[in-house]
Chains A and B, each alone.
Chain A
Amino acid sequence: MKPFEYERAADTGGAVAALAGRRGAAYLAGGTNLVDHMKLGIASPELLVDVSRALDARIEELPGGGLRIGAGVRNADLAADMRVRKRYPALARALLSGASGQLRNLATTGGNLLQRTRCPYFQDPTTPCNKREPGSGCSALDGHTRQHAILGASQHCVATHPSDMAVAMLAFDAVVRVRGAGGLREIAIADLHRLPGDVPQRDTTLEHGELITDVDLPSLEIAARSTYRKVRDRASYAFALVSVAAAVELASDDTFADVRIAFGGLAHKPWRATLAEDELRGRPATEAAFRAAAHAELAAAQPLRDNAFKIAMASNALVATLRELTMPRAAR
């Protein structure tokens, strides 16, 4: 690990001031991703500004019924919050599906959103990677691509976003609040993460020095009937091959009054399945409709050599999730 200076920020304003104009400085919160990257030699900040005691670690009610989650709230505490469990169960379940108990006690809400891909080539500094070293090439394109993207990739990068939490937050239209040198701004979570295009080194639309301070969950009745399903190589403690966050609201005639769907494991960002949602609204909650919705979203998939299975896996995961959510309560 390269030597670095360390400062502890007393508040978010001080943290932002400490990073302003210092390209080589980075924020440290839970450290579960950044410290690992520093050990691997794929991140070497010259200054760490520790925000773990500066970030808000509370979850507060918003006027109108939503929740404001401080960026310093640990993943374990967010999953344990009874309001989250009751009103946004897909979010609690997504958090619980991620990492391990020890890591969830360290990892923060802000850090979870900003964690970087687990593409093995990105994590291996001996191989070319456009995300780690722009212009060096993508090793995955001629390598093992089982875990990689089938939607929205580019010739420069086929990595996937690893967060489970962000997938559920995307389905619920969360708003990310950010503090920068120029003040505060709010970003719809759909606009936070980006596709790789020809700038794969940028995971998000944040500028250097911007600090996530909170995430707002809007008041959303449909979210109370939601869940998160994760498919992976091990039963626990593994990243998703495919995951689905979904919420449903059925009308009295068992047609979809509303539906929210987001996928993980398929793209460089959490993937909101608007085509599948449009396919379902107003349709009866039947197996055929679920399949049609999956097809609508996945028709554009462009699998790589090793990951064509993800199309069927994502389709089946969506169908199973919708079946679970639309089954009459007694039959569940």
Chain B
Amino acid sequence: MDIDITLHVDGEPRSLSVDTRTTVLDALREQLGVTAPKKGCDHGQCGSCTCLVDGRRVTTCLSLAVAHDGAQITTAAGLGSERDLHAVQQAFVDHDGFQCGYCTPGQICSAVGMLDEARSGFASYVTADLTAGVVLDADEIRERMSGNLCRCGAYVNIVAAIGELAP
């Protein structure tokens, strides 16, 4: 069963026809040629497919495209340009927050979403006082970024990069 949908990808409306089985991740990569989000585990366990959907970080591998008709999707490629990097992208460069780079687009989208969540006052499991303000120390960053795996083990520099932008 094919259904016509529109996804707004990095600011551009993109109309396409998708088999109902298509995930947002596969629609982006296979049908629209948007390859910034990566397919790692394809089961919501690794975070490499993370994009911002309607402003929030989600795993696009577990999101069916038909259910996201009309959604605003921002990939790591849409956050900044090569000449004008997003602050999180620049911080990853400055701190060498990657090795092979495969998980990096997901890490960066996740970090952008996580920093927004922190600015909105979201607590985490390691927050001692659930009703106090957010202070993003290294433990908080690790907990809030635990949905993004890096098999190279660049975590130390990823935490440092995000820490530079922490509220």
Contact = CB atoms under 8 A, between A and B. Distances in A.
A and B interact: yes
A106 B58 contact: yes
B130 A89 contact: yes
A1 B61 CA distance: 13
Most chain A CB inside 10 Å of its own CB: which residue of B21, B23, B58, B63: B58
Interface stretch (B7-15, B92-100, B117-125, B151-159): B117-125
Given A39-B43, A101-B113, A103-B59, A236 B121 contact: no
B20 A5 contact: yes
Contact of A80 (B21, B57, B123, B148): B123
A122 to B, nearest CB: 15
Given A102-B47, A102-B110, A105-B57, A32 B62 contact: yes
Interface string A220-260: 00000000001000011100000000000000000000000
B143 interface: yes
Nearest to B54: A105
Nearest to B3: A6
A48 B20 contact: yes
B5 to A, nearest CB: 10
Contacts, number: 115
A85 B143 contact: no
A195 B110 CA distance: 38
Given A3-B21, A39-B42, A237-B146, A85 B117 contact: no
B147 A52 contact: no
Given A76-B122, A92-B130, A100-B47, A3 B64 contact: no
Interface string A78-96: 0110100110010011001
A14 to B, nearest CB: 16
Nearest to B130: A85
Contact of A28 (B3, B64, B130, B143): B64
A35 B62 contact: yes
B66 interface: yes
A6 B64 CA distance: 10
Contacts of A36: 43-44, 62
A96 B125 contact: yes
Please tell me the size bucket of the interface on A.
35 or more
Contacts of A103: 44, 58-59, 62, 147
Given A85-B131, A101-B147, A80 B44 contact: no
A35 B44 CA distance: 10
Nearest to A106: B58
Given A31-B64, A105-B57, A79 B122 contact: yes
Interface in B14-70: 19-21, 23, 42-44, 47, 50, 56-59, 62-64, 66-67
Interface of A: 1, 3-6, 8, 28, 31-32, 35-36, 38-40, 48, 50, 52, 76, 79-80, 82, 85-86, 89, 92-93, 96-97, 99-103, 105-106, 230, 235-237
Interface of B: 1, 3, 19-21, 23, 42-44, 47, 50, 56-59, 62-64, 66-67, 110, 113-114, 117, 120-125, 127, 130-131, 142-148
